[in-house]
């Protein structure tokens, strides 16, 4: 999963580490050269020094450097000199310019949204520029830590504990699913029903997709396979009424969670968006989840933003994550919408739904799992 992005992040780590290591080697060579020059200076200076110069020569102080008039004089040189004296090298922005440009291209080519890529670069730059790299430490570790923090910062926006939310909420908990056609909403509902069952929570499926022919049959097949109750009305009925009936059934039968399907729609479908607004008014769901395909990349990110603007979602589910090598949607959606990714679909089976863990994803992308 996300293998293409993993390779590109690995290349950045290697390139950035190489740049810093090369700088360290050059700095060490420069320090040795300056040390040799200082060692030779007193003998030469003694022949030409006058009475007034003896104190300065004795102290080994370069007058120009002391006065700050030398070409390389100033606090920057003093800081570099102090760092070299303690076996360290200071990382400057110019050291990272090439690798960061390559990283930006790598992220964009992996369908990471532009503002997200910029945020990652800014964070890496902030955490590395001006830092000192001790010669006893590995530069790769320094680069990896900066990249880890940058990725985690954008991926974990808005994250909350889904299972804890279910456990602490008054029952029944009502969850409504929305998104465009054909991205796996109905299958995701069945998978989440199984996920909940494995953790001791009962659920009922409510088919609020009264727009599409065959929607009842599709959800009913899943309900039969999982031995779940389904609430459905005739095609063309009121979606809000169907989900409301699901809530009433759950209340009467001590069911923990109501999972409400809705018709696939575009954010520009005024009638269908009005249906979502009515569901919000009539049912007042606890959570509205946006579902899209991870492989849709930046299209998924754009749709998530548009749906959130139009209907205010609480989180996202990405299907087909196991088939996505780019990882752009997984990296970008939370940062762009301000709402977390909650689950990843990773296969065709009912148990192929994984709770999204930002830390685990970052560790996986950086080969630290």
The pLDDT assigned to 225 comes to 96
Residues 6+ apart with CB under 8 A from 113: 298, 301, 328, 332, 335, 336
The pLDDT assigned to 37 comes to 58
Residues 6+ apart with CB under 8 A from 184: 291, 293, 319, 320, 345
Give CA–CA dist 294/327, Å, rounded. 7
Is the pLDDT confidence value at 339 over 80? yes
Closest among 157, 207, 216 to 334, alpha carbons compared: 157
Look at 123-127, 327-331, 364-368 and tell me which has the smallest mean pLDDT: 364-368
- Give the model confidence (pLDDT) of 161-183 as tens digits: 999 999 999 999 999 999 988 89
Which residue ranges does the chain devote to CATH 3.40.50.300? Answer: 162-357
For the record, the structure tokens of 220 come out as 């009913």
The pLDDT assigned to 153 comes to 94
Query: What are the two backbone dihedrals, phi and then psi, of residue 314, each rounded to the nearest 5 degrees?
Result: -105, -15
- Give the model confidence (pLDDT) of 295-308 as tens digits: 998 899 999 988 88
Domain 3-155 classification at class level: mainly alpha
CATH code for residues 162-357: 3.40.50.300
Place of tokens 């990714």: 341
Give CA–CA dist 45/60, Å, rounded. 10
Residues 6+ apart with CB under 8 A from 20: 89, 91, 95, 133, 139, 142, 143
The pLDDT assigned to 3 comes to 82
For residue 137, what pLDDT band results from cuts at 50, 70 and 90?
low
For residue 67, what pLDDT band results from cuts at 50, 70 and 90?
very low
Closest among 341, 337, 343 to 311, alpha carbons compared: 337
The pTM score is 0.78
């Amino acid at each position: 999963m996300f293998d293409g992005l993993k390779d590109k992040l690995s290349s950045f780590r290697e390139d950035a580490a190489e740049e810093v290591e090369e700088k360290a080697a050059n700095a060490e060579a420069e320090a040795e050269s300056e040390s040799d020059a200082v060692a030779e200076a007193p003998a030469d200076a003694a022949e030409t020094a006058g009475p007034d110069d003896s104190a300065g020569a004795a102290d080994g102080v370069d007058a120009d450097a002391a006065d700050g008039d030398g070409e390389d004089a100033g606090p920057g040189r003093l800081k570099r000199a102090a760092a070299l004296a303690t076996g360290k090298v200071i990382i400057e922005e110019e050291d990272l310019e090439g690798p960061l440009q390559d990283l930006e291209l790598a992220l964009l080519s992996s369908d990471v949204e532009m503002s997200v890529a910029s945020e990652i670069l800014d964070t890496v730059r902030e955490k590395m520029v001006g830092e000192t790299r001790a010669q006893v430490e590995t530069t790769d570790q320094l680069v990896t830590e900066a990249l880890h923090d940058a990725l985690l910062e954008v991926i974990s926006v808005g994250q909350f504990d889904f299972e804890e939310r279910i456990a602490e909420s008054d029952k029944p908990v009502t969850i409504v699913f929305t998104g465009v056609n054909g991205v796996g909403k109905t299958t995701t509902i069945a998978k989440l029903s199984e996920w909940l069952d494995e953790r001791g929570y009962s659920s009922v499926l409510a088919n609020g997709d009264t727009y599409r022919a065959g929607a009842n049959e599709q959800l009913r097949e899943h309900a039969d396979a999982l031995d779940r109750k389904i609430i459905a009305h005739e095609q063309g009925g009121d979606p809000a009424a169907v989900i409301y009936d699901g809530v009433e059934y759950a209340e009467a039968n001590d069911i923990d969670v109501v999972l409400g399907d809705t018709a696939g729609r575009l954010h520009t479908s005024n009638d269908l968006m009005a249906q979502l607004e009515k569901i919000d008014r009539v049912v007042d769901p606890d959570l509205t989840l946006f579902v899209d395909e991870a492989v849709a990349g930046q299209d998924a990110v754009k749709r998530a933003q548009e749906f959130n603007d139009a209907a205010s979602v609480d989180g996202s589910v990405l299907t087909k994550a196991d088939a996505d090598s780019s990882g752009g949607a997984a990296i970008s959606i939370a940062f762009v919408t301000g709402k977390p990714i909650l689950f990843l679909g990773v296969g065709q089976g009912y148990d192929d739904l994984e709770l999204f863990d930002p830390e685990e994803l970052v560790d996986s992308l950086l080969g630290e799992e």
